[in-house]
């Protein structure tokens, strides 16, 4: 499968194909939605860290498989379908996700990273999307995610040129949230902060942001969550903890 899962309150999904710089195969794209569904259903998991084994996050798609499909008129059809389903599953994962990046984060690797909620990077990380180097027409759904994150100028720069950004450049462009000598330690510390917060608040905020980005109406779900925070006692606990100057004990979990 070439993914490894480490379970816990702060879980890890590790791309584990070190010999190929964690290049992503058809089978890996196909498997990813199922793995994410398992983690989404695990009530213990509050935050998911996504990273690569070894010195690279992911060097992208396995180039040898790009045009190996059965349809000569569209040999990338099946791969494209698997890829877009995997990106959507990661983007819609209901809990916070943090990509922890070392080394290369290119092509399909960048697709995974930008569909996470946050990106923490080592100083040696490099970021790029390289369809123009090999003549691939990039799917609009994948372009939109990049566009929403970094804006049209940087999206065009990356897609037109195929050039790579350093970690510092990526941070300036808004592609990376934090550069740290030990990005995993920084991500774990931030994850601990997220674990201490109201999971209901986080869940509702992520739902609303995803709805707004996709052009859907966020209000019906937000109203349901508002009623839920009253009925579950989540809001009452937060206010009590604040007035009593203590840490809250948020108990909400999805039904």
Q: Which residues pair with 52 in a beta bridge?
A: 15
Tell me 8's DSSP state: S
Which of 80-84, 227-231, 243-247 is predicted with the least confidence, judged by mean pLDDT? 80-84
pLDDT averaged over every residue in the chain: 94
Q: What is the pLDDT of residue 172?
A: 98
Q: Taking Cα atoms as reference points, which of 4, 90, 13 lies closest to residue 45?
A: 13
3-state DSSP assignment of residue 162: coil
Q: What is the pLDDT of residue 66?
A: 65
- pLDDT over 90, % of the chain: 87
181-215 pLDDT, tens digit each: 999 999 999 999 999 999 999 999 999 999 999 99
Which pLDDT band, with edges at 50, 70 and 90, does 255 fall under? Answer: confident
DSSP class per residue in 47-84: EEEEEESTT-SB--B-GGGTT-SS-TT-TTHHHHHHHH
Q: What is the mean pLDDT of residues 224-244?
A: 96
């Amino acid at each position: 499968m070439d993914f490894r899962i480490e379970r816990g309150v702060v879980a890890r999904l590790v791309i584990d194909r070190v010999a190929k710089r964690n290049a992503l195969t058809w089978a890996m794209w196909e498997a990813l939605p199922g793995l994410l569904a398992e983690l989404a259903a695990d009530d213990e998991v509050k935050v998911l860290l996504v990273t690569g084994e070894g010195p690279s996050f992911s060097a992208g798609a396995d180039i040898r498989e790009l045009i190996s499909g059965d349809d000569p008129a569209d040999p990338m059809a099946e791969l494209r379908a698997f890829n877009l389903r995997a990106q959507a599953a990661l983007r819609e994962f209901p809990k916070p996700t943090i990509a922890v990046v070392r080394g290369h984060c290119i092509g399909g690797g960048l697709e995974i990273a930008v569909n996470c909620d946050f990106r923490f990077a080592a100083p040696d990380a490099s970021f790029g999307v390289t369809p123009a180097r090999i003549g691939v027409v990039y799917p609009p759904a994948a372009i939109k995610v990049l566009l929403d994150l970094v804006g049209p100028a940087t999206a065009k720069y990356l897609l037109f040129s195929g050039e790579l950004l350093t970690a510092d450049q990526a941070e300036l462009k808004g592609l990376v949230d934090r550069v740290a000598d030990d990005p995993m330690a920084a991500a774990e510390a931030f994850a601990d902060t997220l674990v201490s917060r109201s999971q209901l608040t986080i869940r509702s905020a992520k739902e609303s942001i995803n709805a707004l980005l996709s052009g859907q109406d966020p209000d019906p779900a937000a109203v349901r969550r508002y009623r839920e925070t009253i009925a579950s006692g989540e809001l009452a606990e937060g206010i009590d903890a604040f007035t009593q100057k203590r840490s809250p004990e948020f108990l909400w979990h999805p039904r």
